[in-house]
Chains A and B, each alone.
Chain A
């Protein structure tokens, strides 16, 4: 019998998993996709919010600032990309300035260091490429950016190194309630478990219904994001927020950890919780609004786009904790700033499980650090030369746009990459301006060699996302309907 089964390997499930492996427990994480982090957790803005934006009196607000403070250490321990670049929330007129004052006050009330209002001169000095009509801004130096998928991979890798059992391609289809716990049906297996944590993102309502709960009810709110060419790197240093309206944080200009500029996210209610389509309307409004903040931004520089769906619970706040079903806990409705809050959410849940009787005896052998993956692109030529002396695969370039070497691809496969997207999100191979036009065949060959399979067995991200066919496959087969 498992002590805890976590349903869903987004950043929330992964963070909980790592937190639980600090204790002498038998923990399982089941994920329906082929790799962790392939849900909303890879399709977001990647901002670790400063903590001053979220309204007081909400769980979101509390946990965002608590979470923010944990990212520096987490990134050090686990070696994923994180940088405290700060944010600026800007005002175009006096009514905006009033809102900024409220935001700054929120920051002071939470004792967030450094939150202050800047006038035009300071703004021009620090961020010369912003719209010259901006009259004031709140500086939030605690905000940061992270590569969210890297965080998921690193968290799960660390958890697995500490004894977590991970099952991918294992969608949970039913949960039975028994006398001494719950029975989780996942990917064809039946898993008896004492506690279940529902961290199924947009599908948390569906999972809750499996044990007969009517709550939480989850609605989807889609956000589209557009990535721009590295040419624009440095156009802003901080994440730029427009003055928020009661309904939305608005369209942001985000300098990602990797130095690309991203603009987004839109906010649109969607019926289909898996609706990750981008739209012409979304693109047009995103670029219009982003250009208002930073006039140098243009559609022409777009190299990729994507969308993610926020899981919005009925009262617009996080839903965390025990339910009327014994042993069934929610970590649901984790909309923005859920990424920011993830480490704090994980700690909170573990405390709650302890309160519910889970024995939290520490495991002294808990390993908190993971070796940082080497990225050829972010080391000096001297360091690269040395590495290549020891391992010639560091001198073989696979992805030229992002300078990814074959040694990094091998390492990512060793760390669990099984798909082209898994490689891409771990190494950046295929993420640059040519979007995989050059490195795709080599990446596929290396994945195939590792799996002792053929090229036609390799997928983009599991399931039916095949990439190529063998010549023989054409004969006698129907075109898919």
Chain B
């Protein structure tokens, strides 16, 4: 991939990040008919986190077939290269101002500023670290995030250690449990503090069960031992208040501890821009066109909220890119007129507002798993759901006909157990 060396001073749309979010946004902007698009990524290759996901399981929704991460990224890249687009890789976006002056730096162009008609933020997410959950003990080498281990193994041909305990049942940890086992690294177990797993069910089955790797729920690492390198960890079960029961603690020998304890949207730039941030998603508040609280600044992908599947990232980003282009060309759809609120057992809702004149896809995360439940959109709509878990997003199509007789300006979404009778049965 050759990075561009001749930057224009001005672009219709500048996309920050060239992961699946950024690529889909750039593609949609081009298809919607703007003249110039610049897509920037600090990595040497476009593709984002997909480049280190060499397993398959991507694209079932979007392409109707199972692809590996790099294959999924390549499909978008190939489409993009059919258009005229400037791609700057190995290029870091340092700052974006409310007037959409974008400062970037790379060895090929130095430090440069370009003016953008619209900006799409698609910076993805970073991993939560050990510090964020304060595991007591020493700080030897050998404690790292699962994503870093994934990079070592899949992109650099290195191994993080000989025997690795995994803390947290996030998808990256599950995928790495399998990957390391295949590489000959022992994985004595995955330890999850919550009473339910945090990764996709299919990953629990395919990455743990199929390889006889035990998953210990309601259990956490309470201490790390070792002066220079990890020598062992102490694990203990936790009670309902997540407090460890040290009387039942035991130690496990290992030289590596991988943390797979969640992702946090990468919102440095959003903060500099002064965007409104939703504390529940840790990403910007967005409208139904994926526009943030700043005019002409759009956002999509993991930077807005953590997605379970890349397919949804692409869908959301296509919308963001299309609307960024519409913003530049003066063809914006009607503004939103209804605010969405997270109600019972709903942790987060994206987008934060919708409009009653068109169809929207709304993404939700639940707080607690439920076998059978009702999803209720205020008083206007309800549907049956089966088996919801926090690890998997729930999507809801909101159609204009649901809202025909609704005259309020906000709707609350609840997901409640179905032993409670449904409204039509009341």
**CA distance in complex: A350, B83 (Å):** 72
CB-CB contacts below 8 Å: B83-142 with A: 90, 92, 94-95, 103, 105-111, 126-127, 129-132, 134, 136-142
Report yes or no: A392 in contact with B157, Cβ–Cβ below 8 A: no
**CA distance in complex: A79, B131 (Å):** 30
Residue B42 is within 8 A (CB to CB) of chain A in the complex: yes
Report yes or no: B159 in contact with A397, Cβ–Cβ below 8 A: no
Q: Is the interface of A mostly helix, strand, loop or mixed?
A: mixed
Report yes or no: B161 in contact with A277, Cβ–Cβ below 8 A: no
**CA distance in complex: A466, B158 (Å):** 12
Report yes or no: B110 in contact with A395, Cβ–Cβ below 8 A: yes
B161 contacts which chain A residues (CB < 8 A)?
468-469
- Set B95, B132, B136, B145: member contacting A279, Cβ < 8 A: B136
**CA distance in complex: A473, B152 (Å):** 15
**CA distance in complex: A270, B29 (Å):** 62
Residue B231 is within 8 A (CB to CB) of chain A in the complex: yes
Q: Is the interface of B mostly helix, strand, loop or mixed?
A: mixed
Q: How large is the interface on B (under 10, 10 to 19, 20 to 34, 35 or more residues)?
A: 35 or more
Choose, from B10-18, B221-229, B300-308, the stretch at the interface: B221-229
Q: Residue-by-residue, is A306-325 near B (CB-CB < 8 Å gives 1, otherwise 0)?
A: 10000000000000000000
Q: Residue-by-residue, is A275-291 near B (CB-CB < 8 Å gives 1, otherwise 0)?
A: 01111101100000000
Report yes or no: A435 in contact with B130, Cβ–Cβ below 8 A: yes
Residue A471 is within 8 A (CB to CB) of chain B in the complex: yes
B131 contacts which chain A residues (CB < 8 A)?
227, 302-305, 435
Report yes or no: A381 in contact with B111, Cβ–Cβ below 8 A: yes
**CA distance in complex: A143, B322 (Å):** 55
- Set A278, A455, A473: member contacting B134, Cβ < 8 A: A278
Q: Considering only CB atoms and an 8 Å cut-off, how many residues of chain A contact the other chain? A: 62
User: With A437-B127, A437-B129, A437-B145 in contact, is A468–B152 under 8 Å at CB?
Assistant: yes
B253 contacts which chain A residues (CB < 8 A)?
479, 481
Residue of B126, B127, B134 with highest tally of chain A CB at under 10 A: B134
Of all chain A residues, which has the CB nearest B149?
A468
Report yes or no: A465 in contact with B186, Cβ–Cβ below 8 A: no
Chain A residues within 8 Å of B, Cβ to Cβ: 226-227, 231, 274, 276-280, 282-283, 299, 302-306, 381, 384-385, 388-389, 392-397, 400-401, 403, 420, 433-438, 440-441, 455-456, 459-471, 473-475, 477, 479-481
List 7 A-B residue pairs with CB atoms under 8 Å apart, sorted by A's residue number.
A278-B134, A381-B94, A436-B148, A463-B228, A469-B160, A474-B184, A479-B255
Given contacts A467-B142, A469-B160, 19 further A-B contacts (CB under 8 A): A277-B138, A278-B136, A302-B132, A381-B94, A388-B105, A389-B110, A436-B148, A437-B126, A440-B148, A441-B148, A441-B151, A459-B141, A464-B228, A465-B141, A466-B229, A477-B162, A479-B255, A480-B231, A481-B253
Chain B residues within 8 Å of A, Cβ to Cβ: 42, 90, 92, 94-95, 103, 105-111, 126-127, 129-132, 134, 136-142, 144-145, 147-148, 151-152, 156-163, 183-186, 222-223, 227-229, 231, 253, 255, 268, 271
